[in-house]
Amino acid sequence: MTNSIISWESLHKEAQRVMKLSYSPYSKFPVGVAGYTTDGRLVSGCNVENASYGLTLCAECSMISQLIMTGGGRLTAVVCVDGNGNYLSPCGRCRQLLFEHGGPTMQLMTPDGPQPMSTMLPWGFGPEDLT
């Protein structure tokens, strides 16, 4: 899926929809994320907190789990939102997850427009670095 045919509005709506499913009783900071795969599938996720804070799952973790469970592949475009539906920049850990499953050319929507992961995570570490 190329950037010119990405339905950013559809991704934004899906991210907002799943954000409302967030389990965030401790932080009160719901997050939703949605992405397209190279074969056109839509995958999404929300954050799931835990009383043992270190066990909390970010929305991106949830989305990557769905990506793998529905056939794998690569992400091409992702939108992440906060509880108000505003674009949200993923944390460093989640940028690494997105880089792993989308690579340097995957597009992430920001308030300034779509940005490639190579901009969002300069010098990203990927599987090719392990060889």
Closest CA to 18 of 56, 45, 48, 49: 45
Give the model's confidence band at 4: pLDDT under 50 very low, under 70 low, under 90 confident, else very high: low
Average pLDDT value for the chain: 94
Task: List residues bridging with 57 in a β-sheet.
Answer: 48
Give the structural domain span for 29.
3-119
Burial of 102 (0-12, 13-18, 19+ CB in 10 A): buried
Catalytic annotation, residues: 60
| pLDDT tens per residue across span 10-41 | 999 999 999 999 999 999 999 999 999 999 99
Whether residue 1 is predicted with pLDDT greater than 60 in this model: the reply is no
Residue 79 lies in a domain: yes
- CATH code assigned at 65: 3.40.140.10
Q: Please check whether residue 128 lies inside any domain of the structure.
A: no
Decide if 99 is inside a domain.
Answer: yes
Indicate whether 2 pLDDT > 60.
no
Q: How many CB atoms lie within 10 A of CB 65?
A: 13
Question: What contacts 75, CB < 8 A, 6 or more positions away?
Answer: 35, 36, 37, 38, 43, 67, 98, 101, 102, 106
**Residue 78: inside a domain, yes or no?**
yes
Whether residue 125 lies inside any domain: the answer is no
Domain count, the chain: 1
